[in-house]
Amino acid sequence: MFFKQFYDQPLAQASYLIGCQATGEAIVVDPLRDPAPYLLAAKAEGLRITHVTETHIHADFVSGARELHAACGARLLLSAEGGPEWQYAFAAADGATLLHDGDHIMVGNIRLDVWHTPGHTPEHLSFIVTDTPRGAGPMGILTGDFVFVGDVGRPDLLEKAAGIANTMEAGARTLFRSLQRFRTLPDHLQLWPGHGAGSACGKALGAVPSSTVGYEKLANWGVATTSEGEFVQMVLEGQPEPPRYFAEMKRINRDGAPILGTLAPLPQSEPSALVRRLQHGSERAWVIDLRPARAFAEAHVPGSLSIPYGRSFSTWVGSIVPYDVDVLLVAPPEGAALVASARADLLRIGMDRVTGWALADALVAAFTAAGGQPGRIEWRPIASAAVRDGTLPVVDVRGRSEWLAGHLPAARHIPLGELAARVDELPAGPFGVHCQSGGRSAIATSLLHRLGRTDAVNLEGGYLAWPAALPDERPTTV
């Protein structure tokens, strides 16, 4: 048996290629949208991808199951569990085989037994893997977003992200029953989860890429908790706010993402032509600047959004930028390579309308030559005199759990993902914006400037810098 885990760091997402080396057949579980890594890995091992499946309708990335099915003709296998509201709308048109609890999949001599493990989502499946020629029984379980290393899948996303009311507690109780079944598995089984540390699909995921069922029985609070009431309280407590794009992902993955096929490189835009487009007020285009936040603050084209390229890039783009607009990228001097990575990350969350890019210095120069005044954003230390004496109101854009753990006296709380919708709640006149360490506040101030609040000031260093600067002042907690 051949086994390979693919891990995407920005999404903290794991997918798997499992092959029978005797027959050359292989299956991919929970693929990302780009089929190339799986096809290349299979080819290198003398395998052909004959099957593709996924554990559930994902909320944090666009599934690559349809893309891989289209690329190589792999047989598409999808969950039929969860009731009529949780069926894949494209399954019949794509000729998918529907899976139920108790079914099994044969990939050459590799057997995958299907378990319905609802709770995170109603249709969720797990797959127990057996290398049949060995005759030793099952060797591992692919758990998707059911059981992670050190944590379990959150049951509140349907309510918090998809807006389906009164589903959190019911989902938690369903998850508890699925975990009771999980505890009947042999301790020696390997556990291969769908996510690792940094994913928003749980609250305390471990960074170790795999585990065993026996170890999780001992060390995973969700598996070890045998009181249903205690479990429901604990699993719903302290869950972070889900990124706002999760609801869009559910819709795309249920209805079926468009097939991308082979993509041409993203064209570099001519700066003066791009400036003319922006000056004519195209509301359907957003300019996203990938440079470090300080460089953006010193000079940018007004209306641009600063989201420096990094691990959380796609999360914040998906949470702020509408899905029905064109996106133009602005890059630092390294240019094309960074743009290619950023575009790939956006395609993974279904933002397919990235239409061009330009180098930042050239774009700002063209904007200035056309008579424009480059935008600038003021940065101040969070412990500046105006913050201390209350003459500069403060808006805190951190998440709710961070706010409850401690916040500045008199600060106003509006999480970054809600900022555009709650702009009417902002203080009149100049105000400061802060987060935990300075990253989100830089994004927030650029968004506020785009929305016309050019009196917003970025308070650098964030909440973490406050105690060091003012050790005698205690934060307020709730």
pLDDT digits (tens, 9 = 90+) for 61-117: 999 999 999 999 999 999 999 988 889 999 999 999 999 999 999 999 999 999 999
The last residue of a domain, from among 341, 369, 397: 369
Res 283: pLDDT:
59
Same structural domain, 82 and 161: yes
283 or 329, higher pLDDT: 329
The last residue of a domain, from among 369, 401, 431: 369
Residue that the structure tokens 């758990």 belong to:
143
CB-neighbour burial class of residue 279 (10 A; exposed 0-12, middle 13-18, buried 19+): middle
- 33 contact partners, CB below 8 Å, separation of at least 6: 61, 62, 63, 64, 67, 257, 260, 347, 348
Which structural domain, as residue segments, surrounds residue 425? Answer: 379-469
Mean pLDDT of the chain: 93
Res 1: pLDDT:
96
| Domains of the chain: total | 3
Residue 94 lies in a domain: yes
Residue 428 lies in a domain: yes
Angle between helices 168-182 and 228-236 (to 10 degrees): 120
| Cα(366)–Cα(362) distance, integer angstroms | 6
**CATH number of the domain bearing residue 110:** 3.60.15.10
pLDDT digits (tens, 9 = 90+) for 295-349: 999 999 999 999 999 989 999 999 999 999 999 999 999 888 999 999 999 999 9
pLDDT digits (tens, 9 = 90+) for 174-203: 999 999 999 999 999 999 999 998 888 888
Q: Is the pLDDT of residue 212 over 90?
A: yes
**CATH number of the domain bearing residue 436:** 3.40.250.10
The last residue of a domain, from among 351, 369, 387: 369
User: pTM value?
Assistant: 0.91
| Cα(99)–Cα(106) distance, integer angstroms | 13
Q: Mapping DSSP to helix (H, G, I), strand (E, B) and coil, where does residue 185 land?
A: coil
Give percent of the chain with pLDDT exceeding 70.
Answer: 97
Q: Rank 143-147, 159-163, 330-334 by mean pLDDT and report only the highest.
A: 143-147
